[in-house]
C-alpha cells in the first residue's frame, strides 16, 4: 500500500492541473517603477470612472481583463474611461468609520439618558467636545486610510493573461 501512495498522489496532482483555469492578473504600475499592487481574479477593486462630464466610483470583484476593458462584478469598463483607483490601508478606514459612528451614538445616549432622568443641562460641554473629537479623528483615520492613485499622475493598469500563448 505504501508503494502506491506516491504514484497515486502524483496522478491526482497531474489530473487536477489539467482542469485548472489559468489566471489573469491586473497590475497597477507607473512607468519606470515596479508594480504598486496586483489583483488576481476574484479580488475586490474600486475605480473612478468618467462618463462624459460625470465621474463616479464603482466597486466589485475583478473578473477578467483584456487589452482595452476590465470586467469586475457585473460591470464592463473601458480602460480609457478609468480616472483613478483606490485602496484601503488595512484597518484604518474601519476604525475611522467606527469612531464616527461612536461620535453620533455617544451624545444620543447621553441626551436620551438625561431626558429620562430629568438631568439638567441635557447636553454638557464635555459631551460635545468628546463627540467632535471622535468625528474629527474618525474622519482623519478614514481619509488617510484610503490611498488614491490618479491616472493623470502617470499610473496605469496592465493586465497579464496566462490563457494567451
- The answer on 133 and 156 residing in a single domain is no
Q: What is the pTM of this model?
A: 0.66
pLDDT, tens digit (0-9, with 9 covering 90-100), for 19-58: 545 578 888 998 888 888 888 888 888 999 998 889 999 9
Considering only residues 135 and 118, tell me which one the structure prediction assigns the higher pLDDT: 135
pLDDT at 36: 87
In terms of domains, do 70 and 35 share one? Answer: yes
Count of other CB atoms within 10 angstroms of residue 25: 17
In-domain check, residue 53: yes
Residue 3 lies in a domain: no
103 pLDDT band, cuts 50/70/90, is very high
Q: Taking 80 as the threshold, does the pLDDT of residue 10 lie above it?
A: no
Q: Are residues 96 and 82 in the same domain?
A: no
Instruction: Please give the residue range of the domain that contains residue 32.
Output: 21-87+147-161
- 77 and 44 in a common domain: yes
C-alpha triplet 49, 54, 58: angle, nearest 5°: 30
Q: How many domains does the chain have?
A: 2
Note whether 74 and 98 are same-domain residues: no
Amino acid at each position: 500500500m505504501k508503494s502506491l501512495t506516491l504514484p497515486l498522489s502524483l496522478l491526482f496532482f497531474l489530473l487536477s492541473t489539467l482542469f485548472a483555469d489559468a489566471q489573469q492578473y491586473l497590475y497597477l504600475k507607473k512607468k519606470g517603477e515596479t508594480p504598486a499592487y496586483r489583483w488576481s481574479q476574484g479580488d475586490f477593486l474600486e475605480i473612478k470612472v468618467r462618463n462624459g462630464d460625470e465621474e463616479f466610483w464603482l466597486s466589485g470583484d475583478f473578473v477578467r481583463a483584456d487589452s482595452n476593458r476590465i470586467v469586475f462584478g457585473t460591470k464592463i469598463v473601458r480602460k480609457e474611461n478609468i480616472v483613478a483607483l483606490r485602496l484601503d490601508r488595512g484597518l484604518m478606514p474601519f476604525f475611522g468609520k467606527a469612531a464616527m459612528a461612536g461620535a453620533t451614538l455617544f451624545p444620543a445616549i447621553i441626551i436620551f439618558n438625561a431626558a429620562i432622568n430629568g438631568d439638567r443641562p441635557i447636553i454638557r460641554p464635555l459631551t460635545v467636545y468628546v463627540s467632535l473629537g471622535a468625528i474629527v479623528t474618525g474622519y482623519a483615520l478614514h481619509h488617510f486610510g484610503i490611498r488614491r492613485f490618479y491616472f493623470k499622475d502617470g499610473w496605469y493598469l496592465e493586465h497579464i493573461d496566462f490563457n494567451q500563448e
